[in-house]
Amino acid sequence: MRCHTCRGPANVEIRRSRTAYCARCYPAWFRTQVQERIDHERMFRRDQAILVAVSGGKDSLALWHTLTELGYRADGMYIRLGIGDYSQRSQAKSEAFASERGLTLHQVDLKEGQGFAVPDLLDTRSGKPCAACGTVKRYHFNKMAADLGYEVVATGHNLDDEAATLFGNVMHWNVDYLGRQGPVLESTHPKLVRKVKPLYRLSERETAAYAIIERLDYILEECPMAKGAKSLAYKGMLNALEEEQPGAKYGFLVGFLKQGRHAVPGGDFDQATDLRECTRCGQPTTGELCAYCKMADRGRKKSASKAAKYAR
Amino acid sequence: MRVTILPDREVREVDARSVGELLKTLGLHRDAHLVVRGQDILTSDVSLSEGDQIEVWPVISGGRR
């Protein structure tokens, strides 16, 4: 295979567009794709400060690297979730990335600041904390951004993440979620910061290739709590389809965003519009007490009962 | 040839003439993995030889993000 740009031997094949790039030309292609999405979706401007949600994984570090290479003012934020050694390693990767490049990395420590950690939030039905972990991340990324005056939060969600989410929402006909899935979630409340996903049209493989070629030191292992998660099963199914039909994931997601989304009730609203402020923490919510505060109560209770057990 | 599968660094002896054939033999999806020789990522048509030291990198991450 030959590089689409320089005709030299290729390293990364993009099967959905029947092209390939060499290691020297690939980063420029990748960054052009990201820039094109930022501009097309009007995600943010060059004069705006961006807060990147950082996990130490390939997607968030590739996004942060790309945005700084493109000349954007992007700071990072990492949440110490308290998932044992995995969290310590991912924190170390995030801190090293920031310090080697002189970038600002804000951090929140769940256990120290909130009195619980993600392993205290296991769902009774699934036995997994993934849904609760998602709530924790969305809450703190939004709160940190709003408190520090960032106008936009950027996350490393890629094509595989978005296609798997769409697949799950279609499987269960979660119409409310379907209507809100998109690369830009507009602010609908002064304390609700705009969310954007600049990598949403780039596959997980393409993001990983960027991270490897740019020598980004990311955490390769999977979150131990995500083993057996539904999202992984959906990604496996979609990749089986992709093997036979290159471009299937892209067509599924982009086709939905172009044609399907607006046919779904609520599809014109990016984030909830009937918002008020949580009576305890003041963050935007549709109820009296926000989902995070309710969940944090359960987490603290669990954490306290664990501590009591070990004290015996 | 000797193939190391990340992240656990599981080592397998595999007989394959190309990158595409290697992934097929291992039962791995092309869109979920990258095949690396030395510092280079390889496309699926690249020929492999017996003495090659190959790494297979998974690219899929899960959970709620």
Residues of B in contact with A243 (CB under 8 A): 29-31
**ipTM value:** 0.95
Does residue B28 form part of some domain?
A: yes
Confidence of residue A127 (pLDDT cuts 50, 70, 90): confident
Domain that holds residue B30: 2-58
What's the CA angle centered on A134, arms A128 and A139, to 5 degrees? 140
Q: What is the pLDDT of residues A163-201, one digit of tens each?
A: 999 999 999 998 888 888 999 999 989 999 999 999 999
Residue A131 CB burial class (10 angstroms; 0-12, 13-18, ≥19):
middle
Contact A133 B64 (CB under 8 A): yes
Pick from A221-230, A264-273, B35-44: least confident: A264-273
Distance from CA of A220 to the nearest CA of B (A): 6
Q: Is A157 on the interface with B (CB under 8 A)?
A: yes
pLDDT at B64: 56
State the Cα–Cα distance between residues A28 and A34, nearest whole angstrom. Answer: 10
Kindly state the tokens that stand for A213. Answer: 């070629």
State the Cα–Cα distance between residues B1 and A263, nearest whole angstrom. Answer: 52
| Mean pLDDT, chain A, integer | 93
Beta strand residue intervals within A139-202, DSSP E = 152-154, 184-185, 194-196
Helix axes A204-213, A159-171, angle to 10 degrees: 160
pLDDT at A50: 97
- Tell me how crowded residue A85 is: count the other CB atoms within 10 A of its CB: 9
CB–CB of A208/A216 below 8 Å? no
* CATH code for the domain in which residue B7 is found: 3.10.20.30
Enter the pTM of the model. Answer: 0.94
Distance from CA of A138 to the nearest CA of B (A): 9
Q: What is the pLDDT of residues B27-64, one digit of tens each?
A: 999 999 999 999 999 999 999 999 999 999 999 886 65
Could you tell me the fold of the domain covering A26-311? Rossmann fold (3.40.50)
DSSP 8-state class, residue B30: G
Does residue B24 form part of some domain?
A: yes
Residues of A in contact with B5 (CB under 8 A): none
How many domains is chain B partitioned into structurally?
1
Indicate the domain borders of chain A.
Answer: 26-311
State the Cα–Cα distance between residues A121 and B22, nearest whole angstrom. Answer: 40
Tokens 């991450």 -> residue:
B61
Does residue B54 form part of some domain?
A: yes
Query: Looking at residues A136-162, what average pLDDT do you find?
Result: 96
Query: Looking at residues A296-310, what average pLDDT do you find?
Result: 87
**Where does residue B27 fall: left (phi above 0), alpha (psi -120 to 50 degrees), or beta otherwise?**
left
State the Cα–Cα distance between residues A189 and A201, nearest whole angstrom. Answer: 27
Does residue B65 form part of some domain?
A: no
